[in-house]
Amino acid sequence: MKRSSYEGLQGKVRNLRTPVIETWKNQYPDKDYTITIDIPEFTCICPKTGLPDFANIMIKYIPDELCLELKSLKMYTIFYRDVGIFNENVVNKILEDCVRSCKPRSMEIVGERPRRDKNDGQRRVQNMREIAVSQIRDTVSDLCLKANFELRKDVLGAIKRAYKKETNARAKGILKTIVENARVAKDKKIAICQDTGMVSVFLDIGIDVRITGGNLEDAVNDGVRKAYDKGYLRKSVVDDPLLRNNTRTNTPCVIFTDIVDGDKMKVTISPKGFGSENKSKIRMFNPTSSVEDIKKFVIDVVKNAGPDACPPLVLGIGIGGTFEKAAYLAKKALTNPIDKSNARRHISKLEKELEIEINALGIGPMGLGGKTTVFGVNILEYPTHIAGLPVAVNVSCHATRGASKIL
């Protein structure tokens, strides 16, 4: 008899060690009621082909003393994404594990292969909102000019507030000059700072957006090139970090993309000079390090920057993730308004403590003393590995620039 090519592929399924499904106490054990849980787009691996396999799973049960806890159930189902198992076996395995966890009065689990109409993909494309690369190019160009000519409102407001509370005559004079410089730049359409920076572009692209008419990266760089020519802005980008030949276009820029919900695209431009960028630091802390250790690191970064980063400063801090994620978070944090705190209380507390302690250093405007060394501290955080605690500090000068638009 011919041996089946599927034989021996699922012999250990019933002994598969899966994550624990947690439970919570049913407050109505005296009642018979039904709980239905839908798990769309359940994913596992086909044990024969090694390719992803999909199913829609529905759990329906009448609880007794315990109910299934949904977050742990989600983590349980995610576990199967790397497991080679047939859908028929998945349904029985989930049933066994769920019954073992909550001991229901009755339980039924149904697994269905998702049905896909041959026209589904076409309908999806038709329902997507199209944004032409020409519109993206022109938006990037306009935002580059605006960012270089008009100081951000939150930053300008912070400078004016610092001026009002400053008692040091020299510092007060410097802050007044910075405000006047911002006014002249806006009125005359000239650069706020002679270092018009290397441009970072943050693109939050809706999942229902379809980009048409060309290449997105080319369009963004064309927009930067167009703006720096039109605005007579200094071109500071070299084509190779070692050979160092100026591209004469201020491109390529640095592009960050993030896929978000919706049918819109948010474009954020951040041109940043390297007097402050060169003072930025990153450190991989031990996971046992304290908040005080992190604060000391950040404060030392500011001390070492001294007058070279053109204070008062704005600090973007990234905590968590990986080495490169922390650096990204620190740069991204600079695009957030400095007059709005992090939504998480312990992070907001750290932002405020750092602002107070850094201003107590007395470095002041342009490093010549005064009450204001930093206008604002923005922190973005991300989950990280049990063995790590990355912290990145992106230092930005008093001319922290940026502009955004939603398409």
CATH of the domain at 45: 3.30.1130.10
Pick from 76, 26, 77: nearest CA to 55: 77
Alpha-carbon gap, residue 258 to 276, rounded angstroms: 26
The per-residue pLDDT for range 214-225, each reduced to its tens digit, is 999 999 999 999
pLDDT of amino acid 48: 79
The DSSP call for residue 115 is P
Within a domain: residue 385? yes
Pick from 387, 394, 377: nearest CA to 322: 387
pLDDT of amino acid 116: 56
- Torsion of Cα atoms, 168 then 174 then 175 then 178, to 10°: 180
pLDDT of amino acid 118: 54
* Residue 93 neighbours by CB under 8 Å, 6+ apart: 13, 14, 16, 18, 85
Within a domain: residue 350? yes
Question: What does each C-alpha distance from 154 to 98, 119, 126, 267 come to in angstroms?
Answer: 53, 49, 40, 18
Per the structure, the count of domains in the chain is 2
Within a domain: residue 293? yes
- Residue spans of the chain under pLDDT 50: 1-5, 123-124
CB neighbours of residue 45 within 10 Å = 16
Within a domain: residue 288? yes
Residue where the block lists tokens 């989950």 = 383
For the chain, the C-alpha Rg in angstroms (whole number) is 28
Cis peptide leading into residue 311 (ω within 30°): no
Q: What is the pTM of this model?
A: 0.70
β-strand pairing of 403-406 with 265-272: antiparallel
Kind and range of the H or E run holding 96: helix 87-102
Q: Which among 92, 112, 132 is the end of a domain?
A: 112
Within a domain: residue 184? no
Count of residues in the chain: 407
Q: Which residue segment(s) compose the domain that 345 sits in? A: 274-400
Within a domain: residue 228? no
Q: Which among 112, 141, 158 is the end of a domain?
A: 112
pLDDT of amino acid 1: 46
Within a domain: residue 124? no
Cis peptide leading into residue 252 (ω within 30°): yes
The DSSP call for residue 307 is T
Q: Which among 112, 139, 159 is the end of a domain?
A: 112
pLDDT of amino acid 294: 98
pLDDT of amino acid 13: 79
Within a domain: residue 4? no
